[in-house]
Amino acid sequence: MTKPRRKGATETFSVSVDRETKRTLKRLAAERFAGNVSALVTELAAEGARQAAFDRAWRWYGGPEPTSAETEAIRREWEEGWQLARKVKRGKRGEAA
C-alpha cells in the first residue's frame, strides 16, 4: 500500500550534504515541522529569498550593511512602535479605539 500524495504540486530533487548537516536538518525538522524536512527546506528557501531582497534593497540604498548592534537597535525600535500601536488600539479600559 502506498502513501497518498500530499496536496499541492511538489517536485523531488537530490541534495548532497555532509552527515552533520543532515543531522542538523533532521533535528530542526523534528523540532519545528514534526520531522518534515521538506517543510524545513521550504522555510529556509523563503528566508533566503527575504534576505536576498533585503540585500538588494540595502545595496540600492547605498549604505554599508548594518552592524549587529544597529540591526538590534532597529528591531527594538520596531517593537516599541508595535507596542505603542497595540496600546493605542486598545484605547480606554481595554476597549478598541
- Has residue 72 got a pLDDT over 90? yes
CA-to-CA distance for 95 and 54, rounded, in angstroms? 37
Is residue 94 in a domain? yes
Give the Cα separation of 46 and 1 in Å (integer): 34
Q: What is the pTM of this model?
A: 0.55
Q: Mind listing the pLDDT tens digit for each residue in 7-58?
A: 677 889 999 999 999 999 999 999 999 999 999 999 999 999 999 998 888 8
**Cβ proximity of 66 and 76 under 8 Å:** no
DSSP for residue 62: T
Longest dimension (CA), the chain: 61
Q: For position 63, what pLDDT does the model report?
A: 76
* 31 and 46 both lie in a single domain: yes
Quote the number of domains for the chain: 2
Domain membership flag for residue 8: no
Range of the domain at 96: 66-97
**Amino acid identity, position 46:** A
27 in a structural domain = yes
pLDDT at 76 over 60: yes
Q: How confident is the model at residue 4 (pLDDT cuts 50, 70, 90)?
A: low
